[in-house]
Amino acid sequence: MTYTSGPNHGTVDPMERDFTTRLLTAETWPDFATLVEANNGVWGGCWCIGFHPEGFQSPPSAETNRANKEAHARAGTVHQVLVYDGDQCVGWGQFGSPAELPNHKNQKAYERELTTPPDWRIGCIFTGSKHRRHGVARAAVAGVLEEIRTAGGGVVEAYPEQVEDRPPQRGAYLHTGPENLFEEFGFERDRKIAKWRWVMRLSLT
């Protein structure tokens, strides 16, 4: 799938860019690994494993996280859209069923007000450090939603951070994306689970 991001799509980059997406598989694992390694393992070595059933191990180990993530890619137990600029992987959007992605930040607050479980969850949204503010995250979310539609749709949850009416966050990494990005795709607030984090929902048919 191809996604165009430019001034008419709310990005900062004045030049339009065409991104393509591919799913994370054994075949695309090297592209994903190259991006993660170029960004210090992401958060110092999380390898985007935190939402998965095994989560972060104790003691923390980037090597274990990498091995667990690769095992998911090779076993087909991960849903993740990789965003490409040409032949280079520059970002991703993670998604899956609640069984596939049972963990997330603010777990206790989330479970205090349980509602009907969603069909899908969107986990991490990541853009490589050299490609930010060009619409990569938007292409990732668009690709995720297209994959979910293809799989039959349903209720989709995301857990982004509020950015409006909030003090500037210098150097902050919004690993679940900003709220206003999901609003662009029609997501609506369901409930607050942290000072600046919301459960947002969208029904796809």
pLDDT digits (tens, 9 = 90+) for 194-204: 888 889 999 99
β-pairing verdict for 88-96 and 79-85: antiparallel
* Domains of the chain from N-terminus onward: 2-204 (3.40.630.30)
The pLDDT assigned to 169 comes to 61
CA distance 114 to 185: 24
More reliable by pLDDT, 78 or 108: 78
Between CA 155 and CA 19 the distance in angstroms is 26
Mean pLDDT of all residues in 19-30: 97
Rounded to two decimals, the pTM is 0.88
Residue 112: which H helix or E strand, with range? helix 107-112
Q: What is the reported pLDDT for 108?
A: 83
Return d(Cα 160, Cα 192) in angstroms, integer: 10
By residue count, the chain amounts to 205
Report which of residues 44 and 165 the model is more confident about.
44
Which one-letter DSSP state was computed for residue 6? Answer: S
